[in-house]
């Protein structure tokens, strides 16, 4: 009977948790972070569930592990762990990871002010600002993001008929804008969104096949992005992103913001050089931007940026004890 111990640095990015596993993570095989993610999912997923779910985590828990990169042009490789699985990319997770890794001296950038990160979804570049040893802001240039499908009709148990778009920003998002059966974020209780979101996700995935044109292993809608009008001065829009089985992102959601900007760009509502300030359910903000236009497969795409801040809240040593019936966590 063994006890597996992990050294963790906890923090949050604009309100959403980030548990950076700085010690105790497994050695992973693979020629890229995407292959290492597959290896982790096949052999070590119990570490993710043990560290993310109750009794050591909670519904919104999200985190990361650091690895030496497989690419010579990167400073660090990052694996994302979350209640929902191992995301190809996580924006709030990476802003928190970069902040805490720099403040704790876990990574030495080759170019001060910039970190090049190998994520399972691809290269993400972080530009950061520091003051008195603290990282005050992180701006990510994310993977190419695109509108994958628009005007999808679906019957959503609990709400009725909905029309949604699907966009990729490092994960696939079903984007639900205010319409007849959905009054918009702010005009509907969060508990109701948590109840209907998994039903909407299953209904969409049962009918529509969404596959990344350049990596068929990235497929399916994993997140639901409910949208609505901004309530905070300076914000352009508000959103509530559902992930896992019960989580609503407390941050404005990095990959969700990139997906939303790709949708608005495809519609002609954003262009290269534009800024898009996104508000979360708790009023925190990410500053998004369309850096440039590009393409992914046959789809028009954008290279998006998102900027936000994170703070460390503590450190802990967490044990997964094989004698514990709840070693791998549970959900109620």
| Burial tier of 323 (Cβ tally within 10 Å: 0-12, 13-18, 19+) | exposed
Locus of tokens 């600002």: 129
- For residues 77 and 95, give the distance between their C-alpha atoms in angstroms, rounded to a whole number: 14
* C-beta of 320 vs 329, nearer to ligand PYC: 329
18, 54, 96, 209, 227 from 15: Cα distances, Å: 9, 19, 10, 33, 18
Per DSSP, which regions of 106-214 are E strands?
A: 114-119, 122-131, 134-141, 145-156, 160-168, 172-176, 211-212
Residue closer to ligand PYC (CB basis): 146 or 243 = 243
For the CB of residue 181, give the shortest distance to ligand PYC in the complex, in Å: 25
Do residues 249 and 256 make contact, with C-beta atoms less than 8 angstroms apart? Answer: yes
Query: What's the token pair of residue 313?
Result: 């809240």
Min separation Cβ 239 and ligand PYC, Å: 11
What's the token pair of residue 178? 């205010």
User: Which residue, 67 or 172, has its beta carbon nearer to ligand PYC?
Assistant: 172
With respect to ligand PYC, which residue has the nearer C-beta, 90 or 164?
90
Q: Which residues are catalytically annotated?
A: 90, 253
Footprint of ligand PYC (CB under 6 A): 62, 90-92, 243, 249, 251, 253-256
**Nearest distance, CB of residue 249 and ligand PYC, angstroms:** 5
3-class DSSP state of 94 = helix
- Whether cis (ω within 30° of 0) applies to the bond prior to 18 is no
Q: Smaller CB distance to ligand PYC: residue 170 or 320?
A: 170
Strand partners, 190: none
Shortest Cβ 91–ligand PYC spacing (Å): 3
CB of 222 to ligand PYC, least distance (A): 8
Rounded least distance, CB 142 to ligand PYC, Å: 9
What is the rounded CA–CA span in Å between residue 59 and residue 245?
8
What 3-state DSSP class applies to 152?
strand
> Whose Cβ is closer to ligand PYC: residue 50's or residue 244's?
244
In this structure, the number of other CB atoms found within 10 A of the CB of residue 131 comes to 8
């Amino acid at each position: 009977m063994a006890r597996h111990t992990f050294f963790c640095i906890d923090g949050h990015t604009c309100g959403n948790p980030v548990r950076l596993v700085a010690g105790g993570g497994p050695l992973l095989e693979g020629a890229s972070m995407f292959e290492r993610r597959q290896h982790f999912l096949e052999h070590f997923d119990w570490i993710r569930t043990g560290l993310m779910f109750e009794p050591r985590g909670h519904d919104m828990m999200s985190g990361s592990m650091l690895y030496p990169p497989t690419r010579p042009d990167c400073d660090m490789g990052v694996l994302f762990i979350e209640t929902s699985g191992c995301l190809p990319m996580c924006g709030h997770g990476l802003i928190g990871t970069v902040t805490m890794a720099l403040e704790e001296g876990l990574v030495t950038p080759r170019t001060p002010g910039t970190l090049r990160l190998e994520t399972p979804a691809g290269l993400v570049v972080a530009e950061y600002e520091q003051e008195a040893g603290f990282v005050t802001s992180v701006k990510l240039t994310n993977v190419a993001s695109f509108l994958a499908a628009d005007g999808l009709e679906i019957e959503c148990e609990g709400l009725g008929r909905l029309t949604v778009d699907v966009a990729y920003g490092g994960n696939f998002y079903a984007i639900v804008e205010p319409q007849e059966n959905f009054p918009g974020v702010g005009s509907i209780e969060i508990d109701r969104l948590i109840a209907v979101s998994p039903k909407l996700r299953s209904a969409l995935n049962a009918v529509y096949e969404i596959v990344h044109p350049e990596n068929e292993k990235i497929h399916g809608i994993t997140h639901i992005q409910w949208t609505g009008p901004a309530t905070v001065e300076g914000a352009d829009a508000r959103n509530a992103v559902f992930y896992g089985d019960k989580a609503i992102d407390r941050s404005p959601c990095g990959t969700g913001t990139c997906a939303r900007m790709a949708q608005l760009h495809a519609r002609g509502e954003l262009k290269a050089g534009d800024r898009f300030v996104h508000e979360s359910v708790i009023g925190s903000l990410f500053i998004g931007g369309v850096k440039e236009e590009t393409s992914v497969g046959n789809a028009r795409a954008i290279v998006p940026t998102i900027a936000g801040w994170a703070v460390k809240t503590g450190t802990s040593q967490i044990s997964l004890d094989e004698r514990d019936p709840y070693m791998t966590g549970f959900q109620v």
